[in-house]
Structure 1
Amino acid sequence: MAVPEGSPVYEPGLRWSEVDRFRPAGGSYGTPVAEGAGFKYDEATLHELAKEWRGLANEYLDDLDAAGKVARAMPPGLEYASGGNAVTTQQSGAALEEALRQRIAYCENMATKYVTALGKYATAEDHATSVINQQPKGIA
């Protein structure tokens, strides 16, 4: 599969398994804003990103349950080869569990960052509203 040219475009709600996940286009992440103070994502995009990171964390959590079964694999027989194979399988399952725990923590951390950004977004909106409301009304 050829790598598309151009920068990737974030499309909220699009699943990773869909073909052409990132499409080259003129868009970018969120709504463009002027340089300087401001947000790179609009409020709806922040909500969608937090939801997607939580969803990914939940998928890894489901995988963690399956990895636990590998980590607790029992040998099929009582001979040396079966026992050695089970130990190797258990070690592999334990390594997979650890990797999945790290991925879950990362995804949850990313979701938290977007929720925090939403709080900052709301605070900035409230501040801007109060500044505007302090302005004299009508034509002076």
Structure 2
Amino acid sequence: MNVYEYLLSYNIKPSVQRIAIMDYLLKHKTHPCIDEIYLALCKEIPTLSKTTVYNTLKLFIEHGAAKMLTIDERNACFDGEISAHAHFQCKVCGKIYDVPYKEETEEVKTLEDKGFIINETHRYYKGVCSECAAKSSKN
């Protein structure tokens, strides 16, 4: 499925800017912030503004086509991968990694048994990634 069809599948009317922003999210698994997306795309789309990037990402989130991560309290990051997964942020290099996890947990089951309806979950881990740990062990 191409990006145009992907946006349509979430009931989002495709535009040049929306296609470019979603394409960037899907191709760059770096969990970029608004500034990163803007800087990456403004050269090829000179009319693009940070406000357009912000509003487009907000639209994607509202329609379920992307997720906003608040793992770093200073910056909101965005993820085009909407399947259930956790995130790990390295406290040394700042990179955010996708981490697979089994969605059904005891906490979720307990809440659902009590009649709660869970629409989304967020699981964040923080520590030192394997690359940074290897670098520090060599020093």
Higher relative contact order (CA 8 A, sep 6+): 1
TM tier, smaller? under 0.3
Larger-Rg structure: 1
Greater per-residue strand proportion: 2
Q: TM-score, normalised by structure 1?
A: 0.19
Q: TM-score, normalised by structure 2?
A: 0.19
